[in-house]
């Protein structure tokens, strides 16, 4: 994959460019207290973006698109314009989780509309605090920009029908990035049914991180996923999670390692498990997920 800009940025690298005129920092923290937490403290100059209301089009019927369907192109364009994002802006995203799952979701969305300069802060807010980045509670009022013209989502997406075909076709590969206990069907804390999509393998997103909660080096991630990309084209690989958010963490890791970005199944387990589709339980046969 030929990236003009590395997908992940360290705190020290952000410090070096943080006063640049074209830089825009976004806090994409998620959860019931995300807005109030942002109001109390955030990276200096960061603008808050809400996963549920701005980066998803949540519907009452979760069986249609899952728990976090993508917003329409039109609404995403309006969001970007409202917070001052133009095609020339250098966007750095973070959230308050070391895994940076919500930040990774917006990274995927920006990459998918063709935005070139977008990175995720490695370690998020905690890592910024740890390394004495300026943190405060000053609320930033975004300066709206002209309309961000978007044609379509350009990165590959998988529909539930494509996933069903892959679940019975050995030529396809479905990667489930949820925790092993959820994949195995031992527990299900969020969705209605435990288990996984038949023919899927389990590579938990947490295995992209080291013991400190930071992304593994690009070299280690390349070694981790090398066997997958040697045996499959990116177009044959579908990545999913519970609701299409955490899967973007693994897509980010793959891009950081230099691989082409596979298909994202946004509906994920939250959609699949509500549509009377076949279910499986038990451990993945995949045994090459390294640490």
Domain CATH number, residue 242: 3.40.250.10
**Same domain, yes or no: 29 and 125:** yes
Catalytic residues: 241
The pLDDT value given to residue 284: 66
Domain count along the chain: 2
150 in a structural domain: no
Give, as one character, the DSSP assignment of residue 259: P
Domain that holds residue 109: 8-136
The pLDDT value given to residue 2: 38
- Contact, 259 vs 225, CB < 8 A? yes
- Cβ atoms within 10 A of the Cβ of 31, count? 14
**Which residues, in sequence order, are bridge partners of residue 284?**
none
The pLDDT value given to residue 285: 54
The pLDDT value given to residue 4: 54
User: Cα 166 to chain center, whole Å?
Assistant: 22
Contacts of 119 (CB under 8 A, 6+ apart): 5, 6, 7, 8, 9, 90, 91, 92, 93, 107
Task: Tell me which residues of the chain have a pLDDT lower than 50.
Answer: 1-3, 287-291
**Same domain, yes or no: 227 and 121:** no
**C-alpha to C-alpha distance for 282 and 45, rounded to whole angstroms:** 46
114 in a structural domain: yes
């Amino acid at each position: 994959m030929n990236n003009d800009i590395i997908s992940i940025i360290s705190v020290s690298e952000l410090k070096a460019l943080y006063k640049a005129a074209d830089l825009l920092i976004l806090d994409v923290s998620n959860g019931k207290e995300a807005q109030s937490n942002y109001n109390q403290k955030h990276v200096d100059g960061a603008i808050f973006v809400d996963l549920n209301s701005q980066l998803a089009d949540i519907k009452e019927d979760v069986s249609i698109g899952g728990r976090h369907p993508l917003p329409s192109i039109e609404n995403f364009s309006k969001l970007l314009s409202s917070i001052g994002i133009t095609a020339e802006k250098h966007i750095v995203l973070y959230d308050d989780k070391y895994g940076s799952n919500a930040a990774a979701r917006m990274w995927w969305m920006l990459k998918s509309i063709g935005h070139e300069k977008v990175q995720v802060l490695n370690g998020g807010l905690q890592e910024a605090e740890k390394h004495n980045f300026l943190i405060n509670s000053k609320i930033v009022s975004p300066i709206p920009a002209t309309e961000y013209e978007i044609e379509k989502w350009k990165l590959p997406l998988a529909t539930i029908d494509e996933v069903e075909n892959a679940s019975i076709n050995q030529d396809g590969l479905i990667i489930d990035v949820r925790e092993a206990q959820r994949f195995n069907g031992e527990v299900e804390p969020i969705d209605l049914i435990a288990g996984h999509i038949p023919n899927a393998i389990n590579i938990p997103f947490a295995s992209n991180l080291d013991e400190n909660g930071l992304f593994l080096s690009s070299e280690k991630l390349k070694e981790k996923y090398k066997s997958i990309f040697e045996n499959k084209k990116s177009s044959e690989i579908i990545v999913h999670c519970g609701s299409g958010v955490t899967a973007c963490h693994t897509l980010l890791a793959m891009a950081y390692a230099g691989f082409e970005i596979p298909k994202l199944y946004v509906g994920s387990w939250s959609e699949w498990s509500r549509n009377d589709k076949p279910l499986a339980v038990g451990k993945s046969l995949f045994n090459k997920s390294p640490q």
